[in-house]
Chains A and B, each alone.
Chain A
């Protein structure tokens, strides 16, 4: 498994529940990104980690969304009190360093459905 791995691939939950989505980046990649892709749209930036710290979380839509990367590798995106509008594919990507070249390596995504 040399690529970015995301789990679960599909998650169905009820409105108001708490959800965690996991991302395992490419080994050695220090930069990690979360994007969200709604139906019929392109991915939208959520948050960027360099190492363990969130260098830019300006894309998180509100305070129900939070992400961590405690050891500088695996990251978890956490969504509290889910709403139907949170339904989307959540994409994780990584790169060897801040992607000045623009090349991000994406996982296949976690599809979240909130009923």
Chain B
């Protein structure tokens, strides 16, 4: 069945460091891909998305490119801030049941000043 695999955390970085969180997926057809973020004490919220191959999603300085050839959707940010500390979830959905998100297990990011 469909699945999402993301790198285990925690990832600990210093402020202004470059961030990569790896995400790969297994799915039939052409899924849509998402990154959700959960800040401490808050619910999950959509960070960015891409709906077809080679699309780049971006928001708040974060970017991810839908790579069908490598079935990947890695999250990147050029310069992280302390306020980026959160848990990041990669997810996919398929067109026939787009409401049914399939999540990875999450990666905790800790940014130190």
Q: Are B41 and A108 in contact (CB under 8 A)?
A: yes
Q: A42-B105, A91-B43, A91-B44 are contacts. A102–B32 as well, Cβ < 8 Å?
A: yes
Tell me how many residues of A have a C-beta within 8 Å of chain B: 29
Q: Interface-forming stretch among B13-21, B69-77, B93-101?
A: B93-101
User: 24 A-B Cβ contacts within 8 A?
Assistant: A3-B43, A4-B43, A33-B99, A42-B104, A43-B89, A43-B101, A43-B103, A44-B103, A45-B102, A48-B100, A91-B43, A95-B99, A98-B99, A101-B49, A102-B32, A102-B46, A102-B49, A102-B91, A102-B101, A104-B46, A104-B99, A105-B45, A106-B45, A108-B42
Q: Chain A interface (Cβ within 8 Å of chain B)?
A: 3-4, 31, 33, 35, 40-45, 48, 56, 59, 91, 93, 95, 98-109
